[in-house]
Amino acid sequence: MDAVVAFLISIPISPLLSLLFEGIDRKLHARMQKRIGPPVLQPFYDLIKLLGKERIIPATASTRIFEIMPMVSTASSLLGASILLSNILSNSNIVGDLILIIYLLAMSSIALIVGGSASGNPYSAIGFSRKISMMIAYEIPMLIAVISMAFGPSPSLAVSSIIEFQVSRGLPLVASRLSMALAAAAFLLCIPAAASVVPFDIPEAKTEIIYGFLIEYGGPYLALAKVSKSVLNFTLTLLASAIFLYIPSLLGEAALLNLGLSLFLCLIVSLLIMFITITVPRTVLARLKVGQALKFYWVLPLTLSFSSIILSAVNL
Amino acid sequence: MIERGIEKEVEVEYTRLRIHFGPVHPALKEPVSLRVFVKGEEVVDVDIVLGHVHRGIESLAEGRNLAQALYLVERICGICSHSHTTCFTQALEEISGIKPSERALYLRTLIFEMERIHSHLLLLGIMAYEVGFDTLFMFTWHVRERILDLFEKITGNRIHHAMNTIGGVRWDLTPEMVKELDACLGEIEKSIKYIHDAFMDKTVEKRTYGLGVLDHSRAIKLCVVGPTARGSGVNIDVRRDHPYAAYNDMKEVFSVILRKDGDVYARTEVRLLEILESINIIRMVLDRLPEGSIRPEENIFRLMRKIQEGEAVSLVEAPRGELLYFVKTDGKGGLRRLKVRTPTFSNLACLKHVLVGHEIADIPVIVASIDPCLSCTNRVTIINRENGELNVVGMDTLRRRVRKKWMQ
Amino acid sequence: MRVGKVFRDAFRSLFRKPVTVEYITKPGKMVPVPERFRGRISYDRETCIGCLLCIRVCPGGVILSTEEGKVAFNISRCILCGQCAEVCPKGAIKLSSQFEIVTYNKEELTIK
Amino acid sequence: MFRVISRGRIKSPWIFHLNTGSCNGCDIEVVAAFTPRYDLERFGCLLVGSPRHADVLLVTGPVTRQMLPRLIRVYEQIPEPKVVVAVGTCASSGSPFLGSEMIEGPADRIIPVDAYVVGCPPRPEAIVKGVVMAVMSKFR
Ligand code: SF4
Ligand code: SF4
Ligand code: SF4
Ligand code: SF4
Ligand code: SF4
Ligand code: SF4
Ligand code: SF4
């Protein structure tokens, strides 16, 4: 498929897929709590409803930033998702590599917290500072895990070339090298924090600071924020599945010829990843405190990602 | 007072932020307003503002007859409603000399302990919810439903049992109920073990151990009661110290659970283990349940007439600690004065103490561990906050106004 | 590790039937209402002798006397304590098992 | 288009629960309605913590004097369209606290209430039904 066409197709598809994923996540979460839970299409209903609601801007907010930031956030996470998706769909790259995608995702989180703290609510302010500490904690291992790829196997950091590399080996990256297995582990451990779910939902802890930076957003703004978060989660899981666990590579060259099938397999894998890294932790764990979360990230994922860099430097 | 619940209020000092924790806050189902002063994430000072659920129950009760007052005091709170009515009827019985039958006393004890189980389970669920552990919260509340079902079967309502009446109880236990209770107790016992394990889970442990420490001497100084005190090693329990209802006969089957650490975990564990004790007591009650009638023959009007002028103080151990009633009757089926001292009211005093020095993230957990349910705590004078003037409405004017409104 | 226990339980419930009672979505499904349940008041006007005892004990001010010497209930004020049913010498008041006292309009809730 | 939006609204009523001086009886029943046995979430309901996110305001309690300004404030903070459900006898009519100096309620004296759930406390099922009914009538 032509890269540009793929990109254009990805833009509407990625939010749809993300919301679907979110719905599945919520359903599974409920089932694990012995409940029936909301319908799988619930996030769509939520979105429609929120879009149709009144727009309220709190009097204490600095209006412009408060209004614009959710859009910025959604745009950047959408862009990140579309780049990734179009890479998988067309197996070619028009713009940007892994670093750009990760950057766009971070951008989308930052835009949200900046917008939220422009509301002037003290809870948002606390959420802001918490999110920043959390980002420092997880972004670094995440980035290092990705960069370790450049030291080692892959010729470039473009997603399509990483996929090609995996296909040419006939094995997903995790299986082919020890260093990549460590990097994948670090990356997966960072997903719950990046998606900010329990135990790392510290920046928006409902019972502590009432959603933190989201507190003053309502109606369409909240809808945008929700979409942005949901696309972000989706992109993270899809990213993990595409660069570390590209299962279609087991099919060999056929994977590149039959891109639709590959995408489907990839989505299945990312659904599994979502289940493991998002649904399960938020079901069976309690929320940590900032200090504890920082400690966790400084110890485990950081060590993992550093060792993966060292190992890939010595070509293991 | 102007709403400040979710509004910013930055203090003069630039790093010191004043947050209003409540009265509208998802972590607390009841409106309490804590004004928390923080520096970064650390709590430096706490102010407690009460009175959001002040409904004037005491003075309302003084304007009604005893039968009506009985249901009114029940609605002081929906969690230990039975404690309130028991305490109230006990005082009336003391004044009038009406003796409830043994069976009635045993049934009171039964509901009392069931209520303790339900209340403790509720709190454990809330604790789990505060630390973001929704699954555990769902689980504990699901276990609690069993108890509520039994309440509904025995008394006809899940929350406000309306079990007590002057001189006895209103609903009797049938043999099927006994059987069902027995089965349910076994299930709950099993679940408690599971919950206990879950509370020792790594992430929960991280959020509860060593937090909000209230040491022994301070606990005594601040007059805390109930599980909060017992978590700090203060050995008090009205059930043992001043036995009422059928607790005199139960002495050998329950022990007072004590923990020394005084932290959130200790308080939680005290509650967990108290559930097991309560189960023992219920088993004993079912075992020994005497035969007989459950209430006096006379109807409520006769009984009310029998209550002469007098006053009495009555004590019970509500799930959250010692509950005290002072009742003064007017001899005409009404009340001259009612005074309620509820456990949470005593316990709240320690909040400031246990919160300072901790992180914002710990506030809900610590507050929940004191188990502040505030519907009964909101009392005291009427302070007009807008102009800061203290406005103590005299008893008579208040009563007059109350009457007037009631008549409409 | 103790996380394991919760996880095992949660994972198992994925494949079990949820405990939810599908009230409303499936007609007829609900938690059984026990016999003693105190629900909406049912009043038998014929047997009532107008002694007004019920008015004297009602804590909610629910019951009003009507001109014909009978009583009327303003259910929206009723706290379902059952005291009126208890004192009524004729058993004219009963607390039925109907628990869904939901309405758009409070005035509908008066029974005579 | 309009039908799509109204369907979305009916399918996703987010609930903000405000205790205006209740006895806790109704509050715990509201929370109980979210637990597995009753599971309000199967109707798409969520218990949200900020009025800005909410569509449905559940009022419990007879509205005490201190909570009066907060009730109004929270009501105003909820973006349109919104539904108010009074849960419990004391929110519906103020009884049995009527006559007290401290009571400003019932809720419908202060804000428009769309549905009343009477009971002290109502069963969680009744609360579920109240929310569903209110949403159905207002958002249709
Ligand atoms: S605080 Fe005052 S008005 Fe309220 S119940 Fe107590 S005495 Fe009555
Ligand atoms: S008011 Fe209560 S806590 Fe305070 S000193 Fe008196 S008894 Fe102790
Ligand atoms: S302490 Fe007070 S509010 Fe809490 S359950 Fe007991 S009576 Fe109710
Ligand atoms: S002002 Fe006096 S009478 Fe009133 S509560 Fe305080 S101490 Fe008691
Ligand atoms: S049940 Fe109670 S509140 Fe209702 S009418 Fe009868 S006495 Fe009054
Ligand atoms: S007590 Fe019974 S008979 Fe007397 S007025 Fe009331 S309903 Fe009628
Ligand atoms: S209706 Fe009854 S149970 Fe509900 S808050 Fe009011 S008094 Fe409590």
Preceding omega of A199 cis (within 30 degrees of 0): yes
**Closest approach of D27 to chain A, Cα-based (Å):** 16
- What is the least distance, in Å, from the CA of D73 to any CA of chain C? 23
pLDDT confidence band for B40 (50 / 70 / 90):
low
Q: Do B55 and D100 touch (CB under 8 A)?
A: yes
Which residue is closest in CA terms to ligand 6's atom 8? C48
Mean pLDDT computed over every residue of chain B: 73
**Ligand 3: distance of its center to the CA of B323 in Å?**
9
> Cβ distance A224 to A73 under 8 Å?
yes
Q: Is the pLDDT of residue B378 over 60?
A: no
Cross-chain residue pair A53–D55, CB shorter than 8 Å: yes
Pocket around ligand 4 at a 6 A CB cut-off: B 380-381, 392
Q: What is the pLDDT of residue B128?
A: 80
CB contact under 8 A, A289 and B359: yes
Q: Is the pLDDT of residue B18 over 60?
A: no
Q: What is the pTM of this model?
A: 0.82
Per residue in B215-244, pLDDT tens? 777 777 777 787 888 878 888 788 778 888
State the pLDDT at residue B50: 65
Tens digits of pLDDT across chain A (316 residues): 577 777 788 788 888 888 888 888 888 888 888 888 888 888 888 888 888 777 777 666 667 777 788 888 888 888 888 888 887 777 777 777 788 888 888 888 888 888 777 776 667 777 777 788 888 888 888 888 887 777 766 667 777 777 777 777 777 777 777 777 788 888 888 888 887 777 777 667 666 666 667 777 777 888 888 888 888 888 888 888 888 777 777 777 766 677 777 788 888 888 888 888 888 888 877 777 777 778 878 888 788 888 887 877 776 6
The domain B57-369 having CATH identifier 3.10.150.10: the answer here is no
Q: Say if C45 falls within a structural domain.
A: yes
Looking at residue B111, its pLDDT comes to 87
CATH number, domain containing residue C93: 3.30.70.3270
Radius of gyration of the CA atoms of chain A, in A: 19
In contact, D55 and D83? CB cutoff 8 Å: yes
Q: Is C53 in the pocket of ligand 6 (CB under 6 A)?
A: yes
Q: Within a domain: residue C10?
A: no
CA–CA separation, B112 and D139 (whole Å): 44
Mean pLDDT, residues B318-328 taken together: 83
Going by C-alpha positions, the residue among D13, D74, D19, D17 that lies closest to residue D45 is: D13
Spell out which residues of chain D touch residue A37, defining contact as CB-CB under 8 Å: 39, 41-42
Domain boundaries, chain A: 3-313
Q: Report, as an integer, the average pLDDT of B13-25.
A: 45
The alpha carbon of C63 and the centre of ligand 5 are apart by a number of angstroms equal to 8
Domains of chain D: 2-139 (3.40.50.12280)
The 10s digit of each residue's pLDDT in C35-58 is: 788 888 888 888 888 888 888 888
Q: In ligand 5, which atom is closest to the CA atom of C83?
A: 7
Q: What is the widest separation between alpha-carbon atoms in chain B?
A: 70
CB C15 within 8 A of CB A31: no
Q: Which residues of B341-377 are buried (b: 16+ CB within 10 A; e: fewer)?
A: bbbbbbbbebbebbbeebbbbbbbbbbbbbbbbbbbb
Residues of A with Cβ-Cβ distance to D11 under 8 angstroms: 39, 42, 45, 49
State the Cα–Cα distance between residues D131 and D84, nearest whole angstrom.
9
What pLDDT, on a 0 to 100 scale, did the predictor assign at position B237?
81
Q: What is the ipTM of this complex?
A: 0.81
Pairing of strands D14-19, D46-47: parallel
Query: Rounded distance, CA A309 to CA C15, Å?
Result: 40
Span from the CA of B375 to the centroid of ligand 3 (angstroms): 6
What's the gap in Å between C100 CA and the centre of ligand 5?
A: 17
Rounded to an integer, what distance in angstroms lies between the CA atom of residue B326 and that of residue B338? Answer: 6
Q: What is the pLDDT averaged over residues C95-102? A: 80
D33-83 pLDDT tens trace: 888 888 888 888 888 877 888 888 888 888 877 778 778 888 888 887 888
Residue B175 amino acid letter: P
3-class SS at C101? strand
Check CB contact under 8 Å for B65 and C81.
no
- Domain of residue C91 covers 29-111
CA distances from A88 to A63, A75, A93, A269, A307 (A): 39, 20, 9, 13, 28
Report the number of distinct structural domains present in chain C.
1
Which residues line ligand 7 at a C-beta cut-off of 6 Å?
A: B 75, 78, 159-160; C 79; D 22-23, 25-26, 60-61, 88-90, 120-121
Q: Which residue has the tokens 């619940």?
A: B5
Transcribe D44-85 into DSSP letters.
T-EE-SSGGG-SEEEEES--BTTTHHHHHHHHHHSPSS-EEE
Residue ranges covered by each domain of chain B: 57-369
- Those residues whose C-beta lies under 8 Å from the C-beta of residue C80, and which sit 6 or more positions away, are B157, B160, C38, C39, C40, C41, C95, D89, D119, D120
Q: Which pair of tokens denotes residue A251?
A: 């099919």
The pLDDT value given to residue B397: 42
